[in-house]
Amino acid sequence: MSLRVNVAELRRRVGERRPVSAEVVLVDAAVGPTRVDDDTPVAVEIELESVSGGVSATGSLRGRWVGECRRCLDPVAGPLEIELDEVFEERPTEGETYPIESDVIDLAPMVRESAMLALTVGPLCREDCPGPSPEQFPVTVAEDEPAPALDPRWAALDQLRDSDEGDPLR
């Protein structure tokens, strides 16, 4: 469904209202490991209202996000619930309002930006997640492998450590 709305009739009287309801799919909506699945619709419930100089859009977005826990990498999911309160103007202010072009507003950029800003950057499966299970991710050490060479730029620190061994304050 298109989120392009003709607002010519709405703008004739200040205070005039019009509801807009839709289910949309947000393609490639992701921030780091968190995303809105391409096949999961997001419910859009918006009320447009004619205001002096533009159109006000208030309402909500409802959907689900999915991702991986930042500590253990297990799958996680959560609700995407966003309250909207935006303004559309013929001369929009960059980063503050959205454009009205030929008496048509496109709600899609507002919906997408709001969803992207609401996504959790580093989700956790639970607050006390201990991280990956050692049994699930075993560490193998090669016995034949030599120890890594020390970086010569840090050699001066080794000398400091050796000279401080007799220091009673340590």
The model's pTM: 0.73
Domain-embedded: residue 20: yes
| More confident position, 137 or 47 | 47
Q: Is residue 39 classed exposed, middle or buried when 0-12, 13-18 and 19+ CB atoms within 10 A define those classes?
A: exposed
Enclosing domain of residue 104: 4-118
Among 10-24, 67-81, 84-98, 151-165, name the one with the lowest average pLDDT: 151-165
Domain-embedded: residue 48: yes
Q: Contact 38/27 with Cβ under 8 angstroms?
A: yes
Number of domains present in the structure of the chain: 1
Domain-embedded: residue 136: no
CA-CA distance, 118 to 76, in Å (whole number)? 16
Domain-embedded: residue 79: yes
Task: Show Cβ contacts of residue 65 under 8 Å, excluding neighbours closer than 6 positions.
Answer: 34, 35, 36, 77, 78, 79, 80, 119, 120
Domain-embedded: residue 151: no
Domain-embedded: residue 157: no
Task: Show Cβ contacts of residue 96 under 8 Å, excluding neighbours closer than 6 positions.
Answer: 87
Mean pLDDT of 142-147: 72
What one-character-per-residue DSSP string does 100-166 give?
A: EETTEEE-HHHHHHHHHHHS-SS--SSTT---S-TTTS-----TTSPPPPPPGGGHHHHHHHHHTTT
Domain-embedded: residue 137: no
Among 8-12, 85-89, 126-130, 150-154, name the one with the lowest average pLDDT: 150-154
Domain-embedded: residue 10: yes
Per-residue pLDDT reduced to its tens digit, 104-137: 999 999 999 999 999 988 899 999 988 877 777 6
